[in-house]
Structure 1
Amino acid sequence: MTEDAETACRALMRICADWESAAHNFLAEEVDSDLLESSVNFLSLTQSAQCLSYLARIVTEGERFTFARIRDCVESHVVQINNPMLTHLYEKNRSLLDSTWEKSLNSLRDWMLVDLRDARGWQTMKVLIELRNASAHGGGRFTDRQRKNSQEFKKLVVEVKAMGYEIQNLRVIAYPDSVRDAAYAVREFILSVDSFTQFG
């Protein structure tokens, strides 16, 4: 494991510990009026919103590590080849390296012939990114953009529920261990990215 990956994994565990500390009191209190009718295994709406904000921090840490690693790999590759035309092409397209997940992953694939969509944990990471987007851009609800393609959204709902979440009126309802589970999943993805991007 590289030092950068180790640093990112430590950050994940700190976020998880922050959540455990913050959630300790309100998870211990059972407020019957605030519990979801579907199951006591899920958090209340307010608790879910707080939980998803921690999940968003975890996903962002995985994103930060992955985008930085892609930038470093591609830049190192261009410097090593030392071709003026390639350097010009790189300079022209450098902004794509960390603009979106799709563009970033495509950049590594196109420049280095490495596709992180094949990395261990990517499928889970992809769903966590959607949950982060629902939290960050929809206040805990799936956004219009996420629901634009009905077939893709149905698939996403199945994947989200398979991970243990509930959905009520397009709102994501978390379960008590979801932050810890997300931290472990993102850690697995980071370690896989770290392994995939060891060149030379």
Structure 2
Amino acid sequence: MLIDASVYKLTEDTIRSLNLIRTNWNNDVSGQIVAVASRVEALVDRFIDLLVSESQVDSTPLGRALLKENNGAFHQSWPARNAVLKNGFDVQLASMPMWADMDLVIDIRNAIVHGDGNLTDRQAKDIASLINMRKRVAKVLHSEIQGRVVRLSPESGSLSAEIGVKFVLAADAAVSSVRPALDP
């Protein structure tokens, strides 16, 4: 895959990583999904750090105090990441078309990591969301949810890596579009 020269080096490195995960981890589908979600999360965290740094919010005592108190919170969850990007920089990752697929990969990663391959109590408590997740897992990852057990297809890891690549390219474009506005 050729990588467009306009993407950030951070994004390029992430895409290369995702492609290695897609092609070299075929015997560990769960590991692929966990690694994909983790790489995407790490890139978004670095984008947040980049935007915060370039915003010069730390140039005042109040800004420094707020960052000291809240900076770690920006990276604690996807809702927190999406909120700081949207409210602080008008970067709306959760509104992008490919967010739904990336969010699904993150949900499956959470089932793997926190539920040992089963949906967590939080994931299984809302029946309407569970039904929707089952449909999306079948459509997007060619896999199944049986009861609370996630049954991954052999290609679901590669599919998750492809989703990750599309998402990071879109995130890169969204971050690129706001960076000139940060110039003093």
Both proteins in one fold, TM over 0.5 = yes
Describe the superposition over 1:86-128 as per-residue Cα deviations: whole angstroms up to 9, x where unpaired.
3322222111111111111101112112211123421100000
Q: Does 1:189 align with 2:167?
A: yes
Describe the superposition over 1:129-170 as per-residue Cα deviations: whole angstroms up to 9, x where unpaired.
000001111111111121122232222222222222112232
Structure 2: distance between partners of 1:119 and 1:138: 28
Identity of aligned residues (%): 24
TM-score when scaled to structure 1?
Answer: 0.79
Q: Which amino acid aligns with 2:171?
A: V
Asked if the contact 1:105–1:117 (Cα under 8 Å) also holds between the matched residues in 2, the reply is: yes
Structure 1: distance between partners of 2:91 and 2:159: 27
Larger radius of gyration: 1
Match of 2:146 among 162, 165, 168: 168
Across the two proteins, how many residue pairs are aligned to each other?
A: 171
- What residue in structure 2 maps to residue 65 of structure 1? 43
- What residue in structure 2 maps to residue 75 of structure 1? 53
Alignment of 1:5-154 (within 5 A): 5-20=11-26, 23=27, 50-79=28-57, 82-154=59-131
Shift of 1:53: 2.3
**Aligned-CA RMSD value:** 1.7
Structure 2: distance between partners of 1:13 and 1:169: 32
TM-score when scaled to structure 2?
Answer: 0.85
Q: Which amino acid aligns with 1:55?
A: I
Match of 2:134 among 140, 143, 157: 157
Q: Which blocks of at least 5 consecutive residues in structure 1 are unaligned?
A: 24-49
1:120–1:191 CA distance, 2 compared to 1 (3 A)? farther
Structure 2: distance between partners of 1:152 and 1:176: 25
Q: Which amino acid aligns with 1:195?
A: A
Shift of 1:72: 1.6
Structure 1: distance between partners of 2:86 and 2:65: 19
Structure 2: distance between partners of 1:180 and 1:144: 27
Q: Which amino acid aligns with 1:14?
A: L
Q: Which blocks of at least 5 consecutive residues in structure 2 are unaligned?
A: 1-6
Shift of 1:68: 1.4
Asked if the contact 1:119–1:196 (Cα under 8 Å) also holds between the matched residues in 2, the reply is: no
